[in-house]
Amino acid sequence: MSVEKLMTINPNSGAGQQFGAYLCDEETNQQLLPILAEREWDNNLIKNGGIESAIRTLATIGSPQFLLVDLSNSIDPEEDINALAEVCEPGTMVITIGKLNDVSFYRNMIASGVQDYLVKPVTTDQLREAILSAELTLRAPTEAPQVVEEVNKEKIISFIGVRGGVGASMLATNTAWILANEYKQKTALVDLDMYFGTGALTFDLEPGRGLVDALENPSRVDGLFIERATIKESENLSILGSEAPLTDPSYTDPAALNHLLVEMKSNFKNVILDLPRSLITDYPMLISETDEVILVSDYTLSATRDVVRFIAFCKSVAPQTKVRVLVNKSNGPQMAEVNRKDFEATIEQPIDWEIPNDSKLMIQVAKSGKILAQSAKHSKIAKQIHDICDSIAGGTAEKKKSGFLKKIGLSKS
């Protein structure tokens, strides 16, 4: 929505105002007053009560062009941000402030569609810069064709555990389920461990012989074959795996694997590979056919070494493939063999995601008979997996909860 159209909506309501603030403390109030004076905005535009007050008020009077909300008193800021999005007019630029100084929380705020998140105490200069940045963002031309092209691209995403037991299969399974059932994208989970794979078992399904048949008869693999060989978990999620006898030979023709991946990619929006690390050296084309590799590690010395080796290998066989790093089961700096700073310095790139260790939660999930994304969808681990899905889907997929990106019709670059 354009600025001009926004300013014509009911001049007697909040939607006709340029600015509104809902704060929780007098200190922030005083830092904001000079900016209101500079812009000749009325001091009465500052209200008390934080985001809860904003949700109640804006539900009846409409939202201003620029909205500053304080999250300090919120019990669940991310839920409140979703509620705020529901009552805001299209085009509203939201700036949030709060007490929590956490990078993951900041990223979640930005992913929700807010313009900025500032950590209290905030200064007048910080607030001035944030409002100016919001103005520039609102007026900047969008590059929609490039964004649409990237989002609409079919992708193969490989999850590789650099060491046993780091949780790569769990992450691949939950990512596939969320993309299919919450983002409503046609997704395939391909479990390439033909003997001990758990992709189908996780959903209490029989894997059958689909993967083995596809690799033994590559000439038969087409859209119809894939439809019959995969197992349907839901309308949008198909699983391809097998439970081959341990006496079966393990060699697979690389050409058969390549053909299978090409066909899978042509039939699904997302192809999530649960890729055993033991296959990589024998079948490097698995990396070259992948759009993005997610290396799953922990903070052990051996895992750190192997992340370095995997990154170097991926760069040598497929320099065009994006390699991301996820550290799972993080126990905090006191329990780690290698701290985050040294880990990142050794692998020479930043960690993309860090997932905390929560053994009690994982036991509860196992007893529930459902995957984590279903049985503990509000947990910190689930939220981190949603961040992975946001990255894969380009941040524009249709989710059950609509944030500001969907609500105001703007995208973050």
- The CA distance from 218 to 169, in Å, is 25
Which pLDDT score, from 0 to 100, does residue 21 have? 94
- The CA distance from 225 to 245, in Å, is 22
Q: Domain boundary at 111, 140, 169, which?
A: 140
Does 232 share its domain with 364?
A: yes
Query: Would you say residue 293 lies in a domain?
Result: yes
Section 77-96 average pLDDT: 88
Does 58 share its domain with 177?
A: no
Does 201 share its domain with 118?
A: no
Does 180 share its domain with 89?
A: no
Separation of CA 311 from chain center: 22
Each residue's pLDDT tens digit, 161-219: 998 888 899 999 999 999 999 889 999 999 888 878 777 878 878 777 888 888 888 88
Q: How long, in residues, is the chain? A: 413
First to last CA, the chain: 18
Does 54 share its domain with 154?
A: no
Among 226, 250, 255, residue whose Cα is nearest residue 238: 226
Task: Say which range, 15-29, 54-68, 76-90, 363-377, has the weakest mean pLDDT.
Answer: 363-377
Which pLDDT score, from 0 to 100, does residue 405 have? 54
Query: Would you say residue 25 lies in a domain?
Result: yes
- The CA distance from 247 to 362, in Å, is 33
Section 347-372 average pLDDT: 85
Among 305, 307, 306, 395, residue whose Cα is nearest residue 350: 307
Q: What is the CATH number of the domain that holds 105?
A: 3.40.50.2300
Give the predicted TM-score (pTM) of the model: 0.61
- The CA distance from 265 to 154, in Å, is 6
Indicate if the pLDDT at residue 153 is higher than 80. no
Which pLDDT score, from 0 to 100, does residue 284 have? 87
Each residue's pLDDT tens digit, 262-287: 899 989 999 999 999 988 888 888 89
Residues of the chain with pLDDT > 90: what percent?
35
What is the residue type of 81?
Answer: I
Does 194 share its domain with 112?
A: no
Query: Would you say residue 410 lies in a domain?
Result: no
Section 33-47 average pLDDT: 91
Rounded to the nearest 10 degrees, the angle between the axes of helix 77-87 and helix 50-61 is 20
Cβ contact 108:89 at 8 Å: no
Q: Domain boundary at 124, 140, 156, which?
A: 140
Domain tally, the chain: 2
Query: Would you say residue 408 lies in a domain?
Result: no
Own/partner long-range contacts of 119-122 (Cβ < 8 Å, ≥24 apart): 120/25, 120/28, 120/70, 120/72, 121/27, 121/28, 121/31, 122/28, 122/31, 122/97
60: Cβ contacts below 8 Å, ≥ 6 apart: none
Does 158 share its domain with 90?
A: no
Mean pLDDT of the chain: 82
Query: Quick check: helix, strand or coil at residue 159?
Result: strand
Does 255 share its domain with 173?
A: yes
Does 19 share its domain with 159?
A: no
Q: Domain boundary at 106, 140, 174, which?
A: 140
Q: What is the CATH number of the domain that holds 334?
A: 3.40.50.300
DSSP-derived letter for residue 218 is: G
Does 162 share its domain with 289?
A: yes
Q: Which domain holds residue 85?
A: 3-140
Which pLDDT score, from 0 to 100, does residue 363 have? 86
Helix (H), strand (E) at residue 178: helix 168-181
DSSP string, 221-237: -SHHHHHHHSEESSSSE
Positive or negative torsion for Cα 217, 218, 219, 220: positive
Which pLDDT score, from 0 to 100, does residue 97 have? 95
Indicate if the pLDDT at residue 413 is higher than 80. no
Does 177 share its domain with 135?
A: no
Which pLDDT score, from 0 to 100, does residue 411 have? 42
Which pLDDT score, from 0 to 100, does residue 3 have? 28
Indicate if the pLDDT at residue 48 is higher than 60. yes
Which residue would you say has higher pLDDT here, 331 or 51? 51
Which pLDDT score, from 0 to 100, does residue 6 have? 28
CA contacts within 13 A on the Cβ side of 42: 7
Per-residue confidence at 7, pLDDT binned at 50, 70, 90? very low
Per-residue confidence at 11, pLDDT binned at 50, 70, 90? very low
Which residue would you say has higher pLDDT here, 344 or 197? 344
Tokens of 318: 């497929």
Query: Would you say residue 47 lies in a domain?
Result: yes
Query: Would you say residue 113 lies in a domain?
Result: yes
Query: Would you say residue 411 lies in a domain?
Result: no
Helix (H), strand (E) at residue 37: helix 26-38
Residue with tokens 């949008």: 236
Section 120-133 average pLDDT: 91
Helix (H), strand (E) at residue 61: helix 50-61
Does 136 share its domain with 178?
A: no
Task: Say which range, 134-138, 145-149, 388-392, 393-397, has the weakest mean pLDDT.
Answer: 145-149
Query: Would you say residue 409 lies in a domain?
Result: no
Section 126-136 average pLDDT: 89
